[in-house]
């Protein structure tokens, strides 16, 4: 039995290659990739239908922070001049909202 194709496939997952791929990734590219969006959507729907509240809140929180971070990085943040920019206010406000929503859904709300 010849396992050379399996060995060649598994060599793609060497630590050096995986780290190089992760470092070359762009957050905006990942957010707009159809496979990522499909995977997040399917995971959220399955978690909702199966009533897996922890998984659903985790997916919503991580996805929310990814989009919030992408929006903030696209607009640019700076503290030059002493006053925060609009995108920094959106980052702080949106991040606070996401954290409070996650706390509410996990600990306060009872089904």
Mean pLDDT of the chain: 84
Query: What value, to the nearest 5°, has the Cα angle with vertex 91 and ends 18 and 102?
Result: 80
CB 106 within 8 A of CB 60: no
* Residue/partner pairs of 74-80 with CB below 8 Å, 24 or more apart: 74/28
How many CB atoms neighbour CB 56 within 10 A? Answer: 20
3-class DSSP assignment, residue 105: helix
CA 57 to chain centre: 12
Q: For residue 75, what are its two tokens? A: 């607009």
Q: Domain boundaries in the chain?
A: 4-108
State the Cα–Cα distance between residues 92 and 88, nearest whole angstrom.
6
Choice among 5-9, 17-21, 75-79, 106-110 with the minimum mean pLDDT: 75-79
- Structure tokens that stand for 62 in this block: 């991580």
pTM of the model: 0.66
Q: Residues of the chain with pLDDT > 90: what percent? A: 25
- What confidence tens digit (pLDDT) does each residue in 63-102 have? 888 888 878 877 776 666 666 677 778 888 999 999 999 9
Torsion of CA 84, 90, 96, 102, to 10 degrees: -160
- Answer whether residue 7 shows pLDDT above 80: yes
């Amino acid at each position: 039995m010849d396992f050379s194709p399996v060995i060649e496939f598994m060599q793609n997952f060497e630590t050096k290659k995986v780290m190089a791929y992760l470092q070359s990734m762009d957050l905006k590219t990942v957010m707009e990739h159809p496979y990522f969006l499909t995977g997040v959507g399917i995971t959220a729907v399955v978690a909702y239908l199966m009533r897996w509240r922890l998984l659903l809140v985790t997916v919503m929180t991580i996805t929310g922070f990814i989009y919030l971070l992408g929006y903030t990085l696209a607009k640019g943040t700076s503290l030059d001049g002493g006053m925060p920019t609009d995108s920094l206010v959106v980052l702080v406000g949106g991040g606070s909202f996401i954290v409070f929503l996650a706390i509410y859904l996990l600990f306060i709300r009872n089904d």
